[in-house]
């Protein structure tokens, strides 16, 4: 899975099937409201993205995005 902030891929995430979560931290360099979503592709090549959500961050803060993986297929 990949984490997107304001439409930019900022890094990969590993899906944990035991918790149905894919934690990923992201350090924000500026304060503001940002759009975040996750996109995943399974081993068969099927892909899906989560709904976009808003993240409000302070300058220099690190936010952990912990989402339930999207249903693929």
CA distance linking residue 46 with residue 38, whole number of Å: 14
pLDDT at 22: 63
Confidence (pTM)? 0.67
22-57: pLDDT as tens digits: 667 778 888 889 998 888 887 888 888 888 888 888
Q: CA 38 from chain center: how many Å?
A: 4
Q: CA 28, CA 58: separation in Å to the nearest integer? A: 7
Query: Residue 12: what pLDDT?
Result: 84
pLDDT tens, residue by residue, 1-30: 888 999 999 888 776 666 666 667 778 888
Supply the pLDDT for residue 7: 92
């Amino acid at each position: 899975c990949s984490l997107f902030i304001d439409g930019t891929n900022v890094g990969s995430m590993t899906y944990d099937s035991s918790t149905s979560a894919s934690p990923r931290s992201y350090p924000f360099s500026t304060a503001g409201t940002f759009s975040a979503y996750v996109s995943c592709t399974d081993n068969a090549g099927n892909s899906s993205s989560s709904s976009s959500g808003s993240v409000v961050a302070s300058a220099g803060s690190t936010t952990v995005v912990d989402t339930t993986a999207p249903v693929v297929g």
